[in-house]
Structure 1
């Protein structure tokens, strides 16, 4: 598995997203992914699936230290990330996670104390690395300015949504970026331009979209899938090599299509 290495973490470039996977189906999907070679599993307390995710990790049959596990503290619980992580670890039945993220920023809860508390959790060994999610560029700069060892920013990112401002900040500070909804919640799978590129490579449009992300420096992707054939196809995207012509066609696609924008989202135009 291709790995991103920074000063704060070593994270497999391709992971399994588990949002909306539940119960036995979730445990089976996680175990199957690990059996296929995935070594990066992403969950969150809000997903209500940490117990089956943990079961799937155990059923996967590889040593714990070989699986990179991410979970997240929900934005209303940022006042006590320690309690949130303790509850997550209990549900996962793990002693630590590899990456613990602020799931969404909360303007009502000061960022510095939250990140300070998360830093202490890292120092105590409950999280190997800490970071944030859904932080526009300006908020990511604020997070770095607290002095916390911010290792990652997880954001919606795909061929039709630019994250250049976030990427610039991340590269400046040696921060990894994880792309969630890398296929636009499935909305990119049938795009004619991507399909056309895929035909030239004997691949699908979805594989092209993933390959575009995965070839970028310090960018990971966590497509969600409960089906083995899709997991295999996503893994194959790691070996797809795009051409200059392919990248130009992708650059010409719209870059303003956001699929995840709940009422508590930050002001995305901060990143413009």
Structure 2
């Protein structure tokens, strides 16, 4: 398990490799999250719309891993129409924590600036150590930044080699925004001939190649699986490196 973290403005140390919980529910979510914590993951990603915050929180408590050692992210969906801060309080109660390390606006909405102002308030009162967005364009990031004077710490977007865009990465970094990718193992990536060739060359799985590619780019990645052996394998990427040639070949998958 790589131990590399990125420092966020609010003081949080953001692990490059985390465990995603999208589409995991009930006991399956609980067991998978517990397996992730036992495997060494120290970054958990959930959301109100995933309807699994209770299970993630229960796994966190039952793992006996100290709360301060685990980076917890949840998200608010502005399209729910609910009050932002009230829903954050519900998330904190479900997770069984006093604060989240990162709270994200799950998707852009016509109320972006208003919602972001509530996020800034939550950071100021300590309920969210850092705040960010998800699925935002650079223009939308700039608009909420200009409206409040607070730049989102993170933008979580769909990301994998076939979506690689060096200029987009650079534009986020110019703004001081950490890029976090989701759905890294989807979109046919696991069966891509280039990914499979590099997996053969390195003696690793295609999933490990994809996770390692994110790590070497300094992009946060949150692979998901309900199977404990895959949960463990997906994070076992600290013992090898992709060569410059292999990284270039993967990057090229995103070029038109």
Q: Which residue of 2 aligns with 1:150?
A: 152
Tell me if the contact between 1:82 and 1:117 (Cα under 8 Å) persists in the aligned partners.
yes
Tell me if the contact between 2:54 and 2:94 (Cα under 8 Å) persists in the aligned partners.
yes
Unmatched segments (≥5 aa) in structure 2: none
- Give how far 1:10 is off: 1.5
Post-superposition CA distance 1:130-189 (Å, at most 9, x none): 00000122212223223124110000010111344442232012221111001125x211
- Give how far 1:7 is off: 3.0
Q: Please state if 1:100 is matched with 2:103.
A: yes
Post-superposition CA distance 1:203-232 (Å, at most 9, x none): 112211111111113x10001111121122
Q: Which residue of 2 aligns with 1:170?
A: 172
Q: Which residue of 2 aligns with 1:245?
A: 245
Cα distance in structure 2, aligned partners of 1:122 and 1:12: 20
Tell me if the contact between 1:183 and 1:209 (Cα under 8 Å) persists in the aligned partners.
yes
Tell me if the contact between 2:106 and 2:133 (Cα under 8 Å) persists in the aligned partners.
yes
Tell me if the contact between 1:140 and 1:166 (Cα under 8 Å) persists in the aligned partners.
no
Q: Which residue of 2 aligns with 1:260?
A: none
Matches within 5 A, 1:1-272: 1-8=3-10, 9-77=12-80, 80-107=83-110, 109=111, 111-146=112-147, 147-184=149-186, 187-217=188-218, 219-255=219-255
Q: For residues 18 and 179 of structure 1, do their structure 2 counterparts lie closer, same or farther at Cα, with a shift above 3 Å needed? A: same
> Which shows bigger deviation, 241-250 or 77-86?
77-86
Q: How many residues align?
A: 252
- Give how far 1:254 is off: 4.2
Unmatched segments (≥5 aa) in structure 1: 257-272
Q: For residues 160 and 96 of structure 1, do their structure 2 counterparts lie closer, same or farther at Cα, with a shift above 3 Å needed? A: same
Cα distance in structure 2, aligned partners of 1:138 and 1:163: 16
Per the normalisation by structure 2, the TM-score is 0.92
> Which shows bigger deviation, 68-77 or 37-46?
68-77
Cα distance in structure 2, aligned partners of 1:78 and 1:148: 23
Structure 1 runs (4+) greater than 6 angstroms displaced: none
Cα distance in structure 1, aligned partners of 2:195 and 2:158: 19
Post-superposition CA distance 1:29-69 (Å, at most 9, x none): 11111111000000000001111011111111111111100
